[in-house]
Amino acid sequence: MPTQHRAIQSRQALIRSAAETFLEKGVPASGMVEISRRARLSKGALYFHFTSKDDLTLAVRDAALATLQEVEDALTRSTQPLATAVRDFAVELFRRVQTDAVLRAGLRLRPETAPGLGIYALEQRWYALFLDKAMTCPADNRIGPGGSVGPTGPQASDSEPRRTAQLLTSIVVGLLHLGGEDGTWWEEESVAGLWGLLSGAPEDMVPAGLPAPVRLPG
């Protein structure tokens, strides 16, 4: 195996090992020796790639952001109507969160530790993404004034894309938060069920696909 390819594999193994350890113990309690052992690499190999745990933590963040970018790029390229494209984005996002320990760990890092992955940063990031998509969609692919997906009419306000982006951002961010407590919110059936409610058409509603809340505010 070429040396460069082996070095890339070692770096990826260390990032994955760090993410898994962070998920189990939290960043403060995760030791560099434990991370290297989990990756089946020597401590020297670990310090060859990362000078400190802070450096390794930023690598987990960068890998998580790269995965997010892949999912976002797929939305940008989608030719589906806006609501469908964002639904597909949410389904793929939560599939990745469930199956990718690096992405899951990155999303749990403290904002001050991993800038760009805090909930406020994600809100701003996805709002801008959805707004750009809404601005380029035909009017009949936006979400109407009543919250339903369908024609907005010839007199649609210029603020309509912003309301659409705000609504879609709220849904995706809300699901991300809820799924952290109850993973059933991230399942495709749950996402599709919630999106069915957006249509405003009774025959399209699928309330049975939504999980019951884990707990309600007091």
Instruction: Give the global pTM.
Output: 0.80
Per-residue model confidence (pLDDT) at position 151? 43
Give the burial class of 44: count Cβ atoms within 10 A of its Cβ; 0-12 exposed, 13-18 middle, 19 or more buried: exposed
Identify the DSSP state of 212.
P
The DSSP annotation for 31-94 comes to -HHHHHHHTT--HHHHHHH-SSHHHHHHHHHHHHHHHHHHHHHHHHH--S-HHHHHHHHHHHHH
pLDDT tens digits, the chain, 218 residues: what are they?
Answer: 566 778 889 999 999 999 999 999 999 999 999 999 999 999 888 999 999 999 999 999 999 999 999 999 999 999 998 889 999 999 999 999 999 999 999 999 988 777 788 888 999 999 999 999 988 865 544 454 444 444 443 334 445 888 889 999 999 999 999 998 888 999 999 898 888 887 653 333 334 444 544 443 33
| Residues 133 and 76: beta-carbon distance below 8 Å | yes
**What pLDDT is stored for residue 203 in this prediction?**
35
CA distance 87 to 85: 5
pLDDT attached to residue 35:
94
Distance CA 94, CA 100 (A): 10
Helix residue spans in the chain (DSSP H): 3-25, 32-38, 43-49, 53-77, 82-99, 101-108, 119-136, 160-181, 188-198
Please report the pLDDT score of residue 160 as a whole number: 83
Contact (Cβ atoms closer than 8 angstroms) between residue 95 and residue 188: yes
Contact residues for 20 (Cβ-Cβ < 8 A; gap 6+): 38, 101, 105
Per-residue model confidence (pLDDT) at position 147: 46
Q: What is the pLDDT, as a whole number, of residue 198? A: 74
pLDDT of residue 18: 95
Contact (Cβ atoms closer than 8 angstroms) between residue 172 and residue 89? yes
At 43 the pLDDT is 87
Tell me what pLDDT residue 143 has: 52
**pLDDT confidence of residue 201:** 38
